[in-house]
Amino acid sequence: MGKNPLAALALAFCLTAPAAALADTYSTANFTFGVSGGNANQQPPFVGVVAPYPAGGTFTGSLVIDDSLVPAGGTGLQNVFFSSFPDIAQIPSATALNLPLGSLPAFTLSDAASGEAAIQYNNGQFNGLFYISDFSFMGNPYELQIEGGSLSIVPIVDGNPSFNNLVNGFVNFSLSNVQPYTPPAAPPPPPPGVPEPATWAMMLVGFGGLGVAMRSRRRASAIA
């Protein structure tokens, strides 16, 4: 039997398909961020809460990097949003991004406004984060803002963040402990549902009606 040229071409394409069709490659890394020292950088009610007062303090955060999306050198400032990771749905929120800020509960990717946050790069090098998160402290609303290497906490007044920085801090532009990371496998699709008793009953009634119609048709044919 002769070979089908289209089948041979399809097989060759499958064997030479680029690896980009597979999931991207990822890494985890640590970075440091903190609160600046000095009385002006910690205002009530956060005095001594996020860092020793007035000395300030440094914390270690962690994040997941999509190695395939890191911009090339010479590309300037770019934000790579976590939502652009093909496998972000499989990466736990606290693994994707974790920001432990003193006595406040740790901020994660799921705490970001609208679930959006980004890693900022400058010419392909880590340049901080883009992150906004509204939270409550002592019964009042506040907002954590990170833009590149600048960190601040401001009060929310009448539903809008104010320009009164109650905490000022920084993000260091260096990564450490970079390790390969494989996201958990996506869960398998659920098995087909088993029809409920009411559905079975309707199916049986339908089959019964079909049988009656077929018998009637045969009887009519025999009389004719």
DSSP line for 62-129: EEEEEGGGPPPTT--EEEEEGGGSTTGGGS-HHHHEEE--TTSPPEEGGGSGGG--EEEEETTEEEEE
Q: In this structure, what token pair is assigned to residue 61?
A: 């955060």
- pLDDT value at 2 more than 90: no
* Residue of 216 and 1 predicted with greater confidence: 216
- Closest alpha carbon to 78 in 87, 86, 69: 69
Rounded to an integer, what distance in angstroms lies between the CA atom of residue 199 and that of residue 192? 14
When the pLDDT of each residue in the chain is averaged and rounded to a whole number, the result is: 85
Q: Is 111 exposed, middle or buried (0-12, 13-18, 19+ CB in 10 A)?
A: buried
Average pLDDT over residues 93-109: 96
Reading phi first (left if > 0) and then psi (alpha if -120 to 50, else beta), residue 177 is in: left
Answer whether 137's CB lies under 8 Å from 146's CB.
Answer: no
* Residue of 18 and 73 predicted with greater confidence: 73
Q: Which residue has the tokens 């450490």?
A: 176
Report the first-to-last Cα separation within the chain, whole angstroms: 52
State the pLDDT at residue 205: 57
- pLDDT value at 211 more than 70: no
**What is the value of pTM for the model shown?**
0.75
